[in-house]
Structure 1
Amino acid sequence: MPPVFPRPAHEPLAPVGPLGERPAGAPSETAYTTTAPRHPGEAPAETTRRLRPVVAEPEEREPAPPVTPDPALSWSAPMSPAAGRPVVTFGEPEGYDDDARPGPLGRRGRPRLAAVAACLVLGLGLVGGAVTGSWLVGDSEAAAAKDSFATARSLWHSVPVDQLFPPTVAGQGAGPGGADRTWTRTAVAPDSGCKDAFDPLLRKALSPVGCQRLLRATYTDATQTYVTTVGLLFTKADATATASLAKRFTDEGLDRRTDLMPRPYGPGFDVDQRASWTVSVLTDAPVVVYAVSGWADGRTVDEPQPAEDAVRPGATTAPAQAGLGHEAKGLADRVERSLRKQVGPYASERPT
């Protein structure tokens, strides 16, 4: 091993350049001096010298005077008369549009306000149109009803007798328990007035609407066991008087009084054979529809029963058990339906 010559303690280490060598002229922060041991087994001595930064001593400054708040600027300080109220302004609030982009709130509401106003105007227009349309429809319906009422008054001479009183009338489900009935016409009375056509009390009850014409026909069932007279009394009254009479018959029960039974028509059908009856005052036409039924063999009836009572389930009277209530009510209903069918075509064909 070659000998190591000691270096003087005051001599600095050489700078290290590239790859561990210090560049020339670079200051050395730390200098190391290594001395090889003079004797075998002696540890080498190391002398280290480090440079410490020099901290400048802080300059002594005069302490700042204490800051005291101005009482005039306090919230609780009274305002002088000369001084005006402080003006406080706030920034315009920021809103967001439908795409989450910021923008002033005032601009956002204007388009929507216009849309709401447009919808309101449109809605008011629709409502007004609907109300006007309902008025027009109501007026149109009232005019049509008035025309139909007036048209029905002349049906007694403008419609053939076979249409008002068909030779054969089918009564599907008109019998007791929903049984079918078929009636065949046996007699037709010539159109006439109401003299001697009704009993005195019934004639008096019908007098408020007057009597223009009376049409009657008599039918028998398929077994020729029963006979039924059906009548159409065309009155002189207007719609108001007709409605008033219909209300009186309903409220006072005039259609159920035995002393107000209609009279029958035709050979083999006498007043003592009357067993059940019905009287209906129409409100949409100046017509009173009635029917009265009895046995065809000429037997008399001591206790006639109104058809409304005779057709009720559980009725035990002789007219009810025989189905005479169904005969009167069923035939009157079919003739009334036939009459209503005649009103429509004649009303539509009325010249404008």
Structure 2
Amino acid sequence: MTLAIRTEDLVKDYGDVRALDGLSLEVEEGEFFGLLGPNGAGKTTFINTLVGLARATDGTAEVFGHDVAADYRAARNRIGLAPQEFNVDRFFPIREVLEHKAGYHGVAPAAASERADEALRTVGIYDKRDTRFDWLSGGMKRRFLLARALVTDPDLLILDEPTAGVDVELRHDLWELIEELNAGGMTVLLTTHYIEEAERLCDRVAIMDEGRRVEVATPDDLRARGTDTVRLTLAQRPAAVPSAVRAIDGVQDATVDGDALVVTAAGGGRVAPALMRTLESAGHRVVDLDIRRASLEEVFVDMTRLDDEDGSGTDDAVDAETDDGTEPDPEVAAVPDGGTDGD
């Protein structure tokens, strides 16, 4: 198994604030991997560590086997980053910005021009190639950030809230484009606040809170850990919940709602047959059955709430800081060996 990302006991401190707290994570090559977490969970700090905008206080981080600190350039050249912020040089046409970006990564001028055109065609804004960034619409700006991430032909595409602030139609268009890139073999690391986005796109999801990994699983596996609601409509209104219902393994609660019995249970599909048998044995006839599975959003909220009860939390603001606690330069990354980078 080839790993695109591997971190072990990764720690990042900003003064007295711990933004990453022993984070260990593995992302396989070709995987579509999602990071979910509330504000201040450490998602952006994690990304900044991978791309060289922040130096880890302790622990290790590797991209395709290259240590992100000791072998920065080899690691960084495998990554394409589309940040949430519009950190773009506004004084040049967007095609020229992409050419400069490719040049930062050692691409010759002629090849850089070809890559710029290809990236703009891929995201559907080639006809705007001579337009300055500020003159693009909001949706086109998002597409351009993706083009800039792609112009270096990366093996790992990192997307930090790629559809923030866009309309539903554009969001779905971007989803389709990102899915095509992943289907072509590109590894994708996505951070998002849209639970639907993670459910639709990701092979696996890591839930982060307070700089720690709470859980890693597929969206389906995470939903299976939530509480389902089973609604059984009966031919006659029950006077009370039969005691045998509460004794069924997996049942957490049961109430009467008009002519229906509403049961919350872990694994509603597994519990439903036992519920029907129990009710029929008690003399009730079930005329309708509905199972509402727990959503990924509900599971996410439950997991982060439980984690918050055990921790002290982190400052939301640290995710945007550099090593010295200042805001990062929007155009130049803090490269360990003194070089510059266009992200």
Q: Same fold (TM over 0.5)?
A: no
Whichever of the two has the greater Rg, that structure is 1
How high is the TM-score relative to the length of structure 2? 0.22
Structure number with greater CO (CA < 8 Å, separation at least 6) is 2
How high is the TM-score relative to the length of structure 1? 0.22
